[in-house]
Structure 1
């Protein structure tokens, strides 16, 4: 096993820079997820760790050894791709052992590694089948098994579940979490699905446009985002944002007027330097944090557009003065066909972001 560290890593394609000085450290045995929207650079970063992309600047170290100029096969990593890339004419057993056989690994050790991987992934009864005889989930297990037999120091996963249907994705998330606990090996996982990230990760690295926005444990990012981007990206449904203007600010407090809701004001504690009067801010509140009318700093009446019932929880998709708002409400299951909903905004759980999207604390 080994940790992975990146120090001011840059990636350029000609004059175009896609990764802008990324620095982070993955501890030995940690499961870290790179997450962000399409095109943010997460797969590029993973491929640089694997050695499939050159590093334009900075250093990548695995197990304390700088690997910028080390061949991919010598880095002690194994990568699982989005496509299964199985050899269709080979059996599962042959697919698992192929890489080891090609490097001249002793037959007895190869057989041991294949048996071990098959046992861990519970595919021992599939060993004589060919890929066309397997389900999507079974093919993905075989692809992961090919990585396991290499007994790497670090596993790299590049959106491995994106080709699976919803039910299989949930099942495979559980399997991957179990696999990490069983192997205890360092794992770095790339996904654009923040639900996957929240489920699997010890820590999450949130990326945007080639920049590392924030690194932290899943609930740290959810409860204490550094900026509006992280606040809006982490969590499903997403955080609500309301336009606000500073009408008064003093030592320890700020009073806001909700721009699109005449007469609605709230006062919130603020530890840092107060913003100037007239400053435009965004007030963020998660769907589950709305309170019953009269139990917060300001009451807001919404017109209900759609109610989404998800078993024990319902999400109300509503609008008010042109702002789209999502509210989590269990009792909405029993409210019939109401066309409006009044909720309160508790000031203590609301978050504030300045015009540049940075968090005000």
Structure 2
């Protein structure tokens, strides 16, 4: 096993720089997830670690060895891609062993590795089948098994569950978490799905436009986002944001909300008239009179999911707002409700999007 270190890593395609000086330490045996919107650079960063993209500047080290000029096959990594890329004319066993056989690995050792991977992934009954006889989840297991047989120091996953349906994604998340627990190998995983990130990661790296916004444990990012971008990206449904203006003395007036006000300790540093953004998560919104600031809400869409219901609507100022419904669980589109914001659960962001403490 080995850790992965990035020091001032940059990537440019011609005159366009896409990765802007990333620093990161992935500890030996850690499960780290790169997450962010499309185009944020997460897959490019993973491919640079794998050696599939050149590093324009900075250093990539695996197990303490700088690998900038080391061929991908010699870096001690194994990558699992979004596409399964299985050989259709080969059986599962042949797909698993192909790379080892091409490298001249001893037959006995190859058979041992294939048997071990099949046991870990619980695909032993499938070894004689060809890919066309497998489900999507089974094919992804085989793709992961092909990485396991290499016995790498670092596993790299590039959105491996994107082609699966919702039920299989949940199942495979559990399988990957179990795999990490059994192997204890360093894993770096790329996804745009923050639910995958929250459920799999020891630590999450949130990326935006080629820069690291925040690194931390899942609940630390959820509870203590450093800025409005992270606050809005981590959590589903996303955090609600309402425009506000300082009245001085820690009081805020919510813009266009009929004079609604709220006092927040974090607002003490704002001068009168200075603008800010108030954030509140859907699950923290309360019923009328239960918080410090009441607001009218017109329901546009009601999602009743069984154990949880979400109401999507607009405030008086026309700002979208999502509520995890409690007492209003039976609400429907067109209903007019009054919701309340508890000051103790609210976040405050300055005009540049930084969270104010």
In the alignment, structure 2 segments of 5+ residues that lack a partner are none
Structure 1 unaligned spans of 5+: none
Please name the residue that 1:198 is paired with.
198
Match of 1:285 in 2: 280
- Structure-2 residue corresponding to 1:143: 143
Q: Find the counterpart in structure 1 of residue 21 from structure 2.
A: 21
Deviation at 1:338, TM superposition (A): 7.2
Counterpart for residue 3 of structure 1: 3
1:269 and 1:348 in contact (8 A); partners too: no
Query: Helix, strand or coil for the counterpart of 1:359?
Result: coil
Equivalent residue for 1:173?
173
Deviation track 1:307-337 (CA, whole Å, cap 9, x = no partner) reads 1011111101111121110000133334577
Checking the alignment, whether the CA contact within 8 Å between 2:287 and 2:327 is kept in structure 1 is no
Deviations 1:176-225 (A, max 9, x none): 01111011000000000111111111110000000000001111111110
Q: Deviations over 1:21-69 (max 9, x none)?
A: 0011111111100000000000000000000000011111111111111
- 2:245 touches 2:274 (CA, 8 Å); kept in 1? yes
- Looking at structure 2, the residues matched to 243 and 9 of structure 1 have their Cα atoms a distance apart, in angstroms, of 36
TM-score, L = length of structure 2: 0.98
> For residues 15-54 of structure 1, what are the structure 2 equivalents within 5 Å?
15-54=15-54
Query: What is the TM-score with the length of structure 1 in the denominator?
Result: 0.97
Report how far residue 283 of structure 1 moved.
0.3
Aligned positions of 1:219-234 closer than 5 A = 219-234=219-234
- Given that 1:11 and 1:57 are in contact with CA atoms closer than 8 Å, whether structure 2 keeps it comes out as yes
Q: Provide the C-alpha distance between the structure 2 equivalents of 1:96 and 1:265, rounded to a whole number of angstroms.
A: 63
- Report the 3-state secondary structure (helix = DSSP H, G, I; strand = E; otherwise coil) of the residue aligned with 1:277: coil
Which residue of 297, 309, 314 maps to 1:314? Answer: 309
Partner of 2:79: 79
- Aligned match of 2:95: 95
Contact kept? 1:154, 1:187, Cα under 8 Å? yes
Q: Give the aligned length.
A: 356
SS of residue matched to 2:246 = strand
The answer to whether the 8 Å contact 2:118/2:145 transfers is yes
Q: Is the 8 A contact 2:173 2:200 kept in 1?
A: yes
Is 1:242 paired with 2:238? Answer: no
For the 8 Å contact 2:266–2:348, the answer to whether it is kept is: no
Please give the root-mean-square deviation of Cα atoms over the aligned residues, in Å.
1.2
**Equivalent residues of 2:32, 2:205 under 8 A apart:** yes
- CA distance in 2 between partners of 1:343 and 1:336 (Å): 15
Aligned 8 A contact 1:32 1:202 in 2: yes
What's the secondary structure of 2:327's corresponding residue?
A: helix
